[in-house]
Amino acid sequence: MNAVTETTAADPVSGVEIFVPLNKLKKSPRNARKVPHGETAIEALAASIAHKGLIQNLVVEPEVTEDGTPTGSYFVTAGEGRRQAMLLCVKRRKMKKSDPVRCWLDTENDPSEISLDENVTRTPMHPADQFERFRELSETKGWGAQEIGARFGVSAHVVKQRLRLGAVSPKLLQVYREDGLTLDQLMAFAITEDNERQEQVFENLHHNREPWIIRRDLTAANVPGHDRRAIFVGEAAYEEAGGTIIRDLFADEGGGYFEDAGLLDMLAIEKLREIAAEVQAEGWKWAEAHIEYPHAHGMRRFYPEPVALSDEDEKRLEAASVEYDQLVEGFDSYDEMPEDVAAKVEALDAEIDAISDKRHAYDANVIAHGGVFVVLNHDGTVRIQRGFVRAEDEALADPQPESEAIDPETVEDEQTEEGDEDVQDIEDEEVGKPISDALTRDLSAHRTLALRVALGERPDMALIALTHTLTSQLFYSYAEAGCLEVRPTVTPLGSHADGIEDTPLAARANAAHDAWAERMPRDVADLWAFVVALDDEDRMALLAHCVSCTVNALRLPWDRKPRSLQTADRLASALSLDMAKDWTPTVDSYLGRVTKAHILEAVTEGVSEDAARRIADMKKQDMAQSAEQLLAGTGWLPVTLRTSEQQGVQSSDAEVPEAQGEDGEDFYAVAAE
């Protein structure tokens, strides 16, 4: 083979290597590829050429005029992608337009066939080979992810993924080469670098090799990154304390697993105790930190009381509110505001909240003898609940009497015998002597009847009286302040459903109760005036809250009450209750607690008969896990949770949600020309 260094020749000879300036190379009109190379492919080629030079020469033919005269330029028959990559290198000042490019001159073969041949007759490297070669570069050359990524035109994250895949057990990589594993399954095994553990899980897999099952088995003893303890403690603090996180490079944020659950619990409690100490510094007698809320504490809770703001605070609150309104006028959100305006608005908002918080404060006695619970919410945020008083401290925290003191001088001598007429005559003559009990009962009966009739004719006042009676009993545990014989019964649900009190729905219910409790007067004697002073909307809202606390739709085997349950169903229909918004079928909530027949019925109704057939031969635990994935997002509900309108209307023809793995081609695609 001859090499020609001249860039042009009067009579080009086919089958020789020549060097042509880059600016003399043109795209061939007979190139078989009509869809241009993608940006990612050009980037990868440019990175390769910049670091290693042109590995594979271009194939060219001379450009000639209509009369056959060479123009001095050449059409690139094969290698247009490399030409585009070199132009990108020029743009980035890593090459010059005049730099010579090694080319193979071919005037004998059909350019279209050559172009087609180069793109068709090629065998891409198996992904497993690529993963192992990347790992070898890292180990033998000492290159990090950034360096390797720069040399191959891919991101450092993609390099880390390929390195992790290359570190999977050689035994499993070979199974992958032989098509015994899919790329998604191999990615699932890559969640850990423990080859022995990977092989152990692989050997224990049955016919169901879903990636999520592999990940589940590999991390069975670990805490997922979305756990509330992990969110609260944070990755940095956990790792600083010596903990190890198994990171899933093929999952979204939060895809890691905390190996040491005990260490995580200890760090969470320590952090909660620090917060508890800060809160106790407000003057509380005690403060306790818990991961789980101690529902069985049995303590009475006091709430903050309304407090008048100082004149200075009132003026500042009014001024800040006016300024806030002026600044936000004309803007729908912070995003639309200039940065300086948005910053000022946020500062004003915080100041308004701080001053408004001063409108309520705990009684000094309650603070001195009460305490605080600091616990973790389901989402990893901290919940601080103040105002709990132990039984032995209640008298000190709330010294006011439960009922009016009775003057002993007004107590009638119960020893008096009604048959003693002489004594009775003497008593009748005593000035200021109260009337007899019998007459009192007689008169009060007439008054009660009159009250019933009058109240029955005044629905507005009946609403006030009912609201007052329910409120006094639900918010004042020691009080008998209402005259209506209406007794609200609130059935605790914690003993009927584990974990129900830590759900987002329970948090909403508690927040609503606490919001009303903070508005209540300290003394139940002032409650009537409070209820009367509410506007119609607030009064109805308070009544609705009190009534809602008494709802009981529990289905208990020993408590037969078909009419009550029928009414509960009608209430659910009237409220258009949709449990799918707050409940999902999981292994813990349903699927792991019913028979295989029930699981298959659920998948048939919520997804499709075909989906149910695909899992019909699985073992119970695997079937429940698969069903949880299939039913996610379908809105399927068991019969007990459906309203009458939803009975029998569960979808049976929904599309089966296929297991969506990560895009495997991102990890092994090779730029094709």
Task: Give the pLDDT score at 646.
Answer: 63
Q: 103 pLDDT exceeds 50?
A: yes
**Range from 309-313, 449-453, 483-487, 656-660 carrying the lowest mean pLDDT:** 656-660
Task: Give the pLDDT score at 485.
Answer: 78
Task: Give the pLDDT score at 333.
Answer: 67
Phi first, then psi: what are they for 67, rounded to 5°? -90, 10
Q: 567 pLDDT exceeds 80?
A: no
The structure tokens 């974990």 sit at 499
- Alpha-carbon span 138 to 351, nearest angstrom: 54
Residue 647's pLDDT band, with cuts at 50, 70 and 90, is: low
**Strand, helix or coil at 583?**
coil
Residue 644 DSSP label: G
Tens-place pLDDT, residues 207-255: 778 888 888 888 777 888 888 899 999 989 999 999 888 877 776 555 6
Specify whether the CB–CB gap between 278 and 362 falls below 8 A: no
pLDDT winner (highest mean) among 350-359, 390-399, 471-480: 350-359
**Strand, helix or coil at 633?**
coil
HSE-up (13 A, CA, CB side) for residue 424: 7
Task: Give the pLDDT score at 664.
Answer: 38
Task: Give the pLDDT score at 191.
Answer: 84
Tens-place pLDDT, residues 325-368: 888 887 766 667 788 888 888 898 889 988 888 888 888 999 99
Residue 275's pLDDT band, with cuts at 50, 70 and 90, is: very high
Specify whether the CB–CB gap between 40 and 671 falls below 8 A: yes
Question: CB under 8 Å, gap of 24 or more: what pairs does 580-583 form?
Answer: 580/635, 580/636, 580/637, 582/503, 582/504, 582/505, 583/637, 583/641
Q: 9 pLDDT exceeds 80?
A: no
User: To the nearest whole number, what is the mean pLDDT of the chain?
Assistant: 80
Q: 432 pLDDT exceeds 60?
A: no
Task: Give the pLDDT score at 279.
Answer: 95
**Range from 202-206, 360-364, 594-598, 655-659 carrying the lowest mean pLDDT:** 655-659
Task: Give the pLDDT score at 627.
Answer: 92
The amino acid at residue 169 is S
Give the rounded percent of residues in the chain with a pLDDT score beyond 90. Answer: 20
Strands 58-64 and 100-105: parallel
The pLDDT of 518-528, averaged and rounded, is: 85
Give the rounded percent of residues in the chain with a pLDDT score beyond 70. Answer: 85
249: its two tokens? 């490079």
Which helix (H) or strand (E) segment holds residue 215: the answer is helix 211-218
At the second CATH level, the architecture of 3-120 is Alpha-Beta Complex (3.90)
Residue 600's closest CA among 622, 615, 585, 583? Answer: 615
Task: Give the pLDDT score at 233.
Answer: 94
Task: Give the pLDDT score at 73.
Answer: 92
Phi first, then psi: what are they for 63, rounded to 5°? -85, 130
Tens-place pLDDT, residues 27-73: 998 888 877 888 888 888 888 888 888 888 899 999 988 888 889 89
646: its two tokens? 């939803």
Where are the domains positioned within the chain? 3-120, 127-265, 269-397, 454-552, 573-673
The more confident residue out of 571 and 417 is 571
Q: 147 pLDDT exceeds 50?
A: yes
Task: Give the pLDDT score at 337.
Answer: 77
Specify whether the CB–CB gap between 632 and 588 falls below 8 A: no
Task: Give the pLDDT score at 404.
Answer: 43
Task: Give the pLDDT score at 120.
Answer: 75
E strands of 325-457, at which residues? 360-361, 371-376, 382-389
Task: Give the pLDDT score at 15.
Answer: 79
- Alpha-carbon span 304 to 312, nearest angstrom: 22
Q: 487 pLDDT exceeds 50?
A: yes
Tens-place pLDDT, residues 627-645: 998 999 899 988 888 887 6
